[in-house]
Chains A and B, each alone.
Chain A
Amino acid sequence: CQFLHIWNNPKWEKNSLTYMIENYTPDMSTSEVDDSIEKALQVWADVTPLRFTRIYSGTADIMISFGSKSHGDFYPFDGPDGILAHAFAPAPGLGGDAHFDEDETFTFRSNTGYVLFMVAAHEFGHSLGLSHSNDPGALMYPVYTYSNPDTFVLPRDDVNGIQSLYGPNPDKDPVQPGPEPPTTPNSCDSALVLDAVSTLRGEMIFFKDSFFWRSYPQSTTPQQSLITNFWPNAPINIDAAYESQYSDNILLFKGRRVWAFSGYDLVRGYPKSISSFGLPESVSKIDAALYDVESGKTLFFVGSSYYSYDEAKKTMDQGFPKRSDETFTGLTSKVTAAFQYKGYTYINRGQHMLKYNLRTGSLLRVLRTSYLLQC
C-alpha cells in the first residue's frame, strides 16, 4: 500500500462525479455543512471540466463522513488538533472518500476552530488525485491555514496541479475569467520588492503580499508563512511595519489604519487610525516605518519626506516632515521599507536596499533587497 501512490498518479477517468454526505458534525447546522461541502467542490470545478452532483442514496464516488479515532479504515484519527481530516485518492470503493475528524471543532466562517470549507477543499484535492504541495501558499500545503471562504481564490500552484490531471475548465468565460490565482513570492527573486521589513524579538520579518519570511539568528533559511497563519486578523499587502521596542509590539500599517500585535495577540483598541500618531489628515498611507533603537524615535516615511515620532512621549516631533535627503544622503525618492539591523539603518527602494549610518546620514552600501534573505 505504501508504494502504490509512488507508482501511479490516480485520477478519475470521468468528469462527472457524484458525492454524498453520509452524516453531519454537531458543530454546524446541516445547511452550513451542505454549503461548505458544495463550495469546496466548486473550487475545483471552477478550474477543470469536473462537475459534481450530490446524491442522497446508494454509493457516490466521493463519500463524505465525520468520524473520530478508529472510524472504519486503517487510519484512525487522533483526537482534537493534530490530523484534521484525510481522503483517499481516486479509485473504486473507498477511493475518493473524505473523512473529517469529529473531535475537531469545525466552523462555517469564524477562525475559532477549523473552517470546514478550507479543510474540505484541501481533502477534495486528494479525492481528485492531488498529493501535498510544499508551497506554503498552496491549498494543498499540508498545514491548516485559515482563509476567509468568501474571498478565497485557488492559488496558482493548485490550479497547475489539478489542470495537469484534468485540463482547464472549458466553460470558463474568456472575457471575465475571474480573479488571477495568487502566486507565492520567491525570496530569491531578483525583482523582489518587499512591502515592509521589521524586527520581532530578535528575529527579522520580511513582508510580501500575504506572506512573510522569518529569519532568526540560528536559521540559515528564512521560514515562509502566511501572515494570517501568524496573526489571523492582520492585513495583507501591507504598507509598512515596525517593532516598537518601547511598547514591545509590532505594528502593521495599511492605508489609514494601523494594527498592533503583542506576540500573536491583537492589542486592544487596534486597528486604529494612523492619525493617532499625530500624522496630518492629508497623509492617507505611509510607505515605511523605522524604529531607531538609539533615539527611541520612529521615523514614518511618506513619499520623499519623513516624520519623527517620540515613542516615549507619544507625540510627533516638531519640525517635521523633513525631506528624506536632508538626513539620508541621496534619498530623494519614495521608499518601500525601512528597518535597523545590527546598528545599521537599511532603507529599501524597490529592488535595492540602501545601508546608512543613521547618526551621520552617510550612505555606506547599495545592496539587493534579497541581501538579508540568505539567497
Chain B
Amino acid sequence: VPIPQEVTVEDEYFAESYLKNFFNLTEETGPTIRRGISPVSKKLSEMQRFFGLKITGTLTADLATREKMKKPRFGVSRHQC
C-alpha cells in the first residue's frame, strides 16, 4: 500500500503556483475576515474534479493529485489583452 507522503512547504508552493497558472487562482486581496472555503482549497477541488481525481480540496489525501501536478503539460489558452 502506498505510504502517505507528508505535504512539504515546497509541495504547497508548487500547488499554489500550479493553480494560479492553470486554474485562475488569484491572490486574495482586501480584508480576510470572511470564513469559508479557502480559495486554494476551492481551486484544488476544481482541479481534482477536472482530472477525475478524488475531490478533497487538500493535498494530503493521496499522491495522485501531486503526481498529476508534476506531469509535463500544456499551458492554458491565452488571450491577448
Interface residues of A (CB under 8 A from B): 1-2, 4-5, 10, 73, 75, 81-89, 91, 93-95, 104, 114, 119, 122-123, 126, 130-132, 134, 136, 142-144, 202, 216-221, 223-224
Residue of A2, A88, A142 contacting most chain B CB atoms (<10 Å): A142
- Is A202 a contact of B1 with CB atoms below 8 Å? yes
Q: A142 — which chain B residues lie within 8 A by C-beta?
A: 22, 73-74, 76
Q: A77 CB to closest chain B CB, in angstroms?
A: 9
11 contacts between A and B (CB under 8 A): A83-B21, A85-B74, A86-B75, A88-B80, A89-B77, A93-B80, A143-B68, A217-B1, A220-B54, A223-B52, A224-B52
In the complex, B61 has a CB within 8 A of chain A: yes
- Give B18 Cβ to nearest chain A Cβ, in Å: 9
CA of A91 to CA of B76, assembled, Å:
16
Measured in the bound complex, the distance between the Cα atoms of B61 and A220 in whole Å is: 11
Contact indicator per residue, chain B 42-59, by CB within 8 Å of chain A (1) or not (0): 000000001111100000
Q: Bin chain B's interface residue count.
A: 20 to 34
Q: Does B35 contact A (CB under 8 A)?
A: no
Q: Which B residue's beta carbon lies closest to that of A202?
A: B1
CA distance A279 to B17 in the complex (A): 54
Is A84 in contact with B79, judged by CB distance below 8 angstroms? Answer: no
Contact of A84 among B50, B54, B74, B81 (CB under 8 A): B74
**Are B81 and A1 neighbours in the complex by a CB distance under 8 Å?**
yes
Distance in angstroms from A296 CB to nearest chain B CB is: 22
Q: Contact between B64 and A223 (Cβ–Cβ < 8 Å)?
A: yes
Q: Which residues of B contact A (CB under 8 A)?
A: 1-2, 21-22, 24, 26, 50-54, 61-62, 64, 68, 71-81
Residues of B within 8 A of A134 (CB): 50-52
Partner of A87, one of B2, B54, B71, B77: B77
* Complex-state Cα separation, A88 to B79, whole angstroms: 5
Q: Identify A132's interface contact among B61, B64, B77, CB under 8 A.
A: B77
B1 cross-chain contacts in A, Cβ below 8 A: 202, 216-217
Say whether A221 contacts B74, CB under 8 Å: no
CA distance A266 to B61 in the complex (A): 30
Alpha-carbon distance between A301 and B20 when the two chains are bound, in angstroms: 51
Nearest B residue to A85, CB-CB: B74
**Chain A, Cβ-Cβ closest to B80:** A94
* Cβ–Cβ contact B2 & A83, under 8 A: no
Contacts of A85 in B (CB 8 A): 74-75
Chain B residues whose CB sits within 8 angstroms of the CB of A220 once the complex forms: 54
The answer for the CA separation of A224 and B64 in the assembled complex, in Å, is 12
Q: How far is the CB of A89 from chain B (nearest CB, A)?
A: 5
A94 and B54 CA atoms in complex are apart in Å by: 37
The 5 tightest CB contacts between A and B, nearest first, are A86-B75, A1-B81, A94-B80, A126-B77, A4-B79
